[in-house]
Structure 1
Amino acid sequence: MAEPRKPDIAAGRLEAEDYASNFADLHPRLTRHEALVEADRCYFCYDAPCVTACPTAIDIPLFIREILTENPKGAAETILSQNILGGMCARVCPTETLCEEACVREAAEGKPVRIGELQRYATDALMADGSQPFERAAPTGKRIAVVGGGPAGLSCAHRLAVHGHDVTIFDARDKIGGLNEYGIAAYKTPDNFAQTEVDFILAIGGITVETGKALGRDITMGELRETFDAVFLGIGLGGVNALGLDGEAISGVGDAVGYIAEIRQADDLSALPVGRRIVVVGGGMTAIDIASQTKRLGAEDVTIVYRRGPERMAASRYEQELAQTGGVTIKCNARPQALVADDGRVSGVTFEYTAEDADGRLVGTGETFTLAADMVFKAIGQTFVAEGLNGSGAPAIALDGGRIAVDDERRTSVAGIWAGGDCVSDGEDLTVVAVEDGKIAAESINRALGSA
Structure 2
Amino acid sequence: MTSPTTPGIAAGRLSAAELANNFDDLHPPLDRHEAVVAADRCYFCHDAPCMTACPTSIDIPLFIRQIMTGTPEAAARTILSQNILGGMCARVCPTETLCEEVCVRETAEGKPVEIGRLQRFATDTLMNSGVHPFARAGVTGKTVAVVGAGPAGLSCAHRLAMHGHDVTIFEARGKAGGLNEFGIASYKSTDDFAAREIGWLLQIGGITIETGRALGNGLDLDTLQAEFDAVFLAVGLGGVNALRAAGEDKAGVTDAVDFISDLRQSSDLTTLPVGRNVVVIGGGMTAVDAAVQSKLLGAENVTIAYRRGPDRMGASKFEQDLAASKGVKILFNAMPVAVHGNGAATEIELEYTEDTGSGLKGTGETFRLNADQVFKAIGQTLTTDAGLTIDAGKIAVTGAGRTSKAGVWAGGDCASGGDDLTVTAVAEGRDAAEDIHATLMGKG
Shared fold per TM-score greater than 0.5: yes
The separation in 2 between residues aligned to 1:117 and 1:413, in whole angstroms, is 40
Cross-structure match for 2:395: 404
Cross-structure match for 1:82: 82
Task: State the shift of 1:247 in Å.
Answer: 2.2
Task: State the shift of 1:194 in Å.
Answer: 0.3
Listed one character per residue, the Cα deviations across residues 50-103 of structure 1 (whole Å, up to 9, x for unaligned) are: 000000000000000000001111100000000000000000000000000010
Cross-structure match for 1:171: 171
Q: State yes or no: 1:421 paired with 2:412.
A: yes
The separation in 2 between residues aligned to 1:246 and 1:109, in whole angstroms, is 50
Cross-structure match for 1:381: 379
Match 1:369 to one of 367, 379, 395: 367
Q: TM-score, with normalisation over the residues of structure 2?
A: 0.97
Aligned AA for 1:354? T
Task: State the shift of 1:7 in Å.
Answer: 3.6
My pick for the range that moved more, 418-427 or 360-369, is 360-369
Cross-structure match for 1:3: none
Contact 1:23–1:186 at 8 Å: present in 2 too? yes
Cross-structure match for 2:153: 153
Cross-structure match for 1:434: 425
Cross-structure match for 1:191: 191
RMSD over aligned Cα, in angstroms? 1.0
The separation in 2 between residues aligned to 1:254 and 1:409, in whole angstroms, is 36
Aligned AA for 2:67? I
Aligned AA for 2:404? S
Map 1:14-413 → 2, pairs under 5 A: 14-342=14-342, 344-357=343-356, 359=357, 361-386=359-384, 389-390=386-387, 397-413=388-404
Aligned AA for 1:369? F
Aligned AA for 2:325? T
Task: State the shift of 1:188 in Å.
Answer: 0.4
What SS does the aligned partner of 2:270 have? helix
Task: State the shift of 1:251 in Å.
Answer: 0.8
The separation in 2 between residues aligned to 1:404 and 1:165, in whole angstroms, is 25
What SS does the aligned partner of 1:82 have? coil
Task: State the shift of 1:166 in Å.
Answer: 0.1
Contact 1:7–1:373 at 8 Å: present in 2 too? no
The separation in 2 between residues aligned to 1:191 and 1:420, in whole angstroms, is 28
The separation in 2 between residues aligned to 1:137 and 1:254, in whole angstroms, is 47
Q: TM-score, with normalisation over the residues of structure 1?
A: 0.96
Aligned AA for 1:154? L
What SS does the aligned partner of 1:38 have? helix
Aligned AA for 1:48? A
Aligned pair in 2 of structure 1 residues 104, 360: CA closer, same or farther (>3 Å)? farther
Structure 1: gaps (5+ residues): 1-5, 391-396
The separation in 1 between residues aligned to 2:313 and 2:171, in whole angstroms, is 31
What SS does the aligned partner of 1:351 have? strand
Aligned AA for 1:398? T
The separation in 2 between residues aligned to 1:23 and 1:402, in whole angstroms, is 35
Aligned-residue identity in percent = 63
What SS does the aligned partner of 1:346 have? coil
Aligned AA for 2:319? E
Task: State the shift of 1:422 in Å.
Answer: 0.4
Task: State the shift of 1:451 in Å.
Answer: 6.6
